[in-house]
Amino acid sequence: MKKIIELKGVSKSFDGELVLDHIDLDIYDNEFLTLLGPSGCGKTTTLRIIGGFETADEGEVIFMGEEIGAVPPHKRNVNTVFQRYALFPHLNVFENVAFPLREKKVPKDEINERVNEMLSLVALKGFEKRSVTSLSGGQQQRVAIARALVGRPKVLLLDEPLAALDLKLRKDMQQELKNIQKATGITFIFVTHDQEEALSMSDTVVVMSEGRIQQIGTPIDIYNEPKNAFVADFIGESNILDGVMLRDRRVSFSGHVFDCVDAGFELKEPVDVVIRPEDVDIVKAEKGMLRGIVTSVTFLGVHYEIIVDINGFKWMIQTTDFVDVDEEIGLYIEPEAIHIMKKSEYSGMFGDYSSYSMELDEIGELNEIEELGELTEEPERESERAE
Amino acid sequence: MKKKASGSLALVQRLALAPYSFWAVLFIVVPLIFVAYYAFTDLDFRFTTDNITRFFTATSTITDEAGTREVHTYVLIFLRSLKLAVISTVICLIFGYPFAYLISKASARTQSVLITLIMIPMWMNFLIRTYAWMTILQDTGLLNGLLSSLGLGRVHIIGTESAVVIGMVYDYFPYMILPIYSVMAKMDVKLIEAARDLGCNSAGVLRRVIWPLSLPGVISGVTMVLIPSISTFYISQKLGNGKFYLIGDAIEGQYAANNLHFAAAIAFILMIILLFGMAFMQRFANKRAAA
């Protein structure tokens, strides 16, 4: 695969605040790459640097082998779909899409042909003469995509393009965007804070936090093999526990020794242990590797989400079996369900569901609040959990 | 039940509007009817079109450098007013448009300071502003004092069309800037970024996005400068030394001579011409917006 964009040591500050901290990123031809992270993590700034709307304070932006840091946006072979579409209100649908072609003085016949081709690609045939202000959000979104693609860019930048759509429409557009990307073969760089969106659409996911890249990988890698507590917590739900590697494929946490599949750690190395809520089996208390008391049960349609208190640490477990609050249950965890991560700066900040259970766990709660104060994106995450 | 409720709501709305409707009828509609009534009647209030015909047919003899000739008095006066008003409007637009753009791009603080500076002259009485320009532009005035002290000689401006235009531009400049500025300040920055993203350089962004989107502001700015400057009478008397009799002066002169019916006729014709002019501009703007 051919590299199309390379970011090398790119940094950017606004008013003395570091927004991007030496980002290194290779983007390949023909891939659907997603920049994923909470608000303020630097994902939009990265996109704007690639688009030419911001210049990096430090580092290089290389586009098809050429440094383009000083090239203005209109000379870059890159187009953008803006967050709230930024359609031109004084032009109709056809003229919005034809806008870049008219600037390039493309012959009339070719303009007609290419605009029509784009409008059928986004299923907006027959809307040519309509005013863009009369369209629904989803239709405006399609016009914006057609307008950005009609100039045949090498790379399409999408800045949270689906954020303003309702859930159903968003799901449809995700699928459609993916199809358009496959049909055109254009590299898509997609920015979102929605982890589900990132997992379902991307070839490559780049998880960002605090101006740094936390992990780059396929959706499956990112979900199954998160590199640190931040990634494990941000992508899906995770119980993250303090553990110690006893030797290869043996780990101890929650006062019990487990078999696992990870190796290559030092003897007695402290680690973070990730267990996904859907990977825990509920068994009778006396048969469990761990046992605990159910503190809350929430019915979510497909499954129940229960919180279990095990030695003061609150686990989240997703199960289709009904259990009752205050019931004592046992947990059974297979070796494959245990994922071991090296300790990081994020250790201890995520992965405990004390606050989630809405019960007052005084000490835990207070500690967590203090830690949360340092993280700007945390209130958003909290509200997500509360949902 | 529901219908009754909405009916009483409509009644409340109508009652709330009543004072404004009354005001509008009393001070806008009634005077307009009077103007039309006077325009089409003679001294004994009998219907006549003589006043209207007089506007188009009255002649007089003028003598200037070009010689002595017969002219249609009021048509000439109207065209002269139109010429000076158009020149002033164009100058206001040429200077006002970029200025409004620069203000809209400044920081919020600078914006409010600049807008206040533009508005301050409007707090002063119109007559006083015009008198101030008399003392500046006089042959022995401030401007000439400054020029001669710099050794640049003197210029004769007072009593020329230029002086009248300077006065109009000064007086009506804010009316050009403010509507254009308010449209530009509301313009979405993302649209400009989108245009750059889609291949426009700065000139392209201006021509294809900023200018068409600011047209409503330009139209109202042009209207707000053109109309008062076409019908102004005081500026030409003071800065033109009364040599450039404008349509406003003609109305005032007829009125002062107690010739109310002809004064009303001139005002009526002026109003009709301006209405057509405005309708035409609005159409032009709508067409541009639709294209």
DSSP letter string over A331-362? EEE-GGGEEEEE--TTTTTS---TTTTTS--H
pLDDT digits (tens, 9 = 90+) for A82-135: 988 999 999 999 999 999 999 999 999 999 999 999 999 999 999 999 999 999
Element (H, E) at A321: none
B199 with A80: Cβ contact below 8 A: no
Is the pLDDT confidence value at B125 over 90?
A: no
Among A44, A79, A88, A130, the residue to mutate for chain B (most B Cβ within 10 A): A88
% chain A with pLDDT above 90: 72
| Structure token pair of residue A314 | 């609150």
pLDDT band at A69 (very low <50, low <70, confident <90, very high): confident
Whether A84 and B201 lie within 8 Å, measured CB to CB: no
Distance from the B176 Cα atom to the nearest Cα atom in chain A, whole angstroms: 22
Residues within 8 A of B (CB atoms), A 125-184 only: 147-148, 151
How many angstroms separate the CA atoms of B132 and A97, rounded? 54
**Taking CB atoms and an 8 Å limit, are A82 and B200 in contact across chains?**
no
Q: What is the pLDDT of residue A355?
A: 63
A87 chain-B contacts, CB cut-off 8 A: 194
Alpha helices for A202-312 (secondary structure H): 219-224, 229-234
Cβ–Cβ of B191/A51 closer than 8 Å?
Answer: no
**Average pLDDT value over all residues in chain A:** 88
Q: Which of A50, A53, A84, A90 to mutate to test the interface with B (most CBs of B within 10 A)?
A: A90
- Within 8 A by CB and 6+ apart from B237, the residues are B249
A2 touches B: beta carbon within 8 Å: no
Are A74 and B208 in contact (CB < 8 Å)? no
The shortest CB-CB distance from A86 to any of B188, B290, B291 is to B188
pLDDT at B43 over 90: no
Using the structure block, give the residue that is written with the tokens 């997609």. Answer: A190
What local confidence, expressed as pLDDT, does residue A377 receive? 37
Residue of A nearest to B291 (CA): A91
Which element (helix H / strand E) includes A205? strand A204-209
* 3-class secondary structure, A280: strand
Interchain proximity B200–A103, CB inside 8 Å: yes
Q: What's the mean pLDDT in B233-237?
A: 85
Nearest to B198 among A83, A92, A103 (CB): A103
A3 has which bridge partners? A28
Q: What is the mean pLDDT of chain B?
A: 88
The region of weakest confidence among A271-285, A362-376, B134-148, B160-174 is A362-376
pLDDT attached to residue A387: 35
Distance of CA B29 to CAs A318, B24, B25, B32, B40, Å? 74, 7, 5, 5, 17
**Strand, helix or coil at B257?**
coil
Q: Which residues are paired to A189 by β-bridges?
A: A33, A157
Whether pLDDT at A305 is above 60: yes
Q: In what order do the strands lie in the sheet with A270-275?
A: A256-259, A250-253, A239-247, A270-275, A338-342
Name the interface residues of B facing A (CB cutoff 8 Å).
Answer: 188, 190-191, 193-201, 204, 208-209, 212-213, 288-291
Q: Is A54 on the interface with B (CB under 8 A)?
A: no
Averaged pLDDT, A342-367: 64
Tokens of B236: 């030409």
Instruction: Kindly state the percentage of chain B with pLDDT values over 70.
Output: 96
Long-range CB contact pairs, A45-50, < 8 A, 24+:
A45/A12, A45/A19, A45/A20, A46/A7, A46/A10, A46/A20, A46/A191, A46/A208, A47/A80, A47/A157, A47/A159, A47/A189, A47/A191, A49/A7, A49/A10, A49/A12, A49/A20, A50/A5, A50/A7, A50/A78, A50/A155, A50/A157, A50/A189
Is it the case that residue A373 has pLDDT exceeding 60? no
Closest CA to B34 of B265, B283, B276, B275: B265
Instruction: Tell me what pLDDT residue A145 has.
Output: 94
Mean pLDDT value of segment A33-43: 93
pLDDT digits (tens, 9 = 90+) for B53-111: 999 988 888 777 777 888 888 999 999 999 999 999 999 999 999 999 999 999 999 99
pLDDT bucket at A371, cuts 50 / 70 / 90: very low
Torsion of Cα atoms, B195 then A201 then A303 then A356, to 10°: -50
For the record, the structure tokens of B41 come out as: 């009647």
Beta bridge partners of A157: A80, A189
Give the residue from chain A lying closest to B204, CA to CA: A103
Residue of B199, B209, B291 lying closest to A151 (CB–CB)? B199
Beta carbons of B289 and A90 less than 8 Å apart: yes
Is the ipTM above a cut-off of 0.90? Answer: no
Size of interface A-B (CB pairs under 8 A): 64
Beta strands in chain B (DSSP E): 59-64, 67-72
* Residue pointed to by tokens 């259990």: A323
Among the listed residues A33, A41, A67, A367, the one whose alpha carbon sits nearest the alpha carbon of residue A214 = A41
Q: Which residues from chain A sit within 8 angstroms of residue B194, using beta carbons?
A: 80, 82, 86-88
Does A105 touch chain B if contact means CB atoms closer than 8 Å?
no
- pLDDT at residue A363 above 60? no
Burial A259-270 (b: 16+ CB within 10 A, else e): ebebeebeeeee
Chain B: give the shortest CA distance to residue A145, in Å. Answer: 12
Q: Which residues make Cβ contacts (< 8 Å) with residue B14, sequence separation at least 6?
A: none
Helix/strand/coil for B91: helix
Q: Token digits for A327?
A: 């019931």
Q: What's the pLDDT score for residue B159?
A: 86
Contacts of B177 (CB under 8 A, 6+ apart): B96, B99, B100, B103, B118, B221
Phi/psi class of residue B95: alpha, beta or left (left: φ > 0; alpha: ψ in -120 to 50)? alpha
Kindly tell me if the per-residue pLDDT of A359 is higher than 50. no
Structure letter (DSSP) for residue B200: -
Query: Which element (helix H / strand E) includes A212?
Result: strand A212-217
What residues of B are in contact with residue A103 (Cβ under 8 Å)? Answer: 198-200, 204, 208
Task: Give me the pLDDT at residue A40, please.
Answer: 87
Nearest chain A alpha carbon to B287: A90
Pick from A72, A90, A148: which is nearest to B212 by CB? A90
| C-alpha dist (Å) from residue B182 to B97, B118, B210 | 12, 14, 13
- Model pLDDT, residue B290: 54
Place of tokens 């950017």: A12
- Lowest mean pLDDT of A64-78, A212-226, B20-34, B142-156, name the range: B142-156
Interface test with A, best of B188, B196, B198 (most A CBs within 10 A): B198
Check pLDDT > 60 for residue A386: no
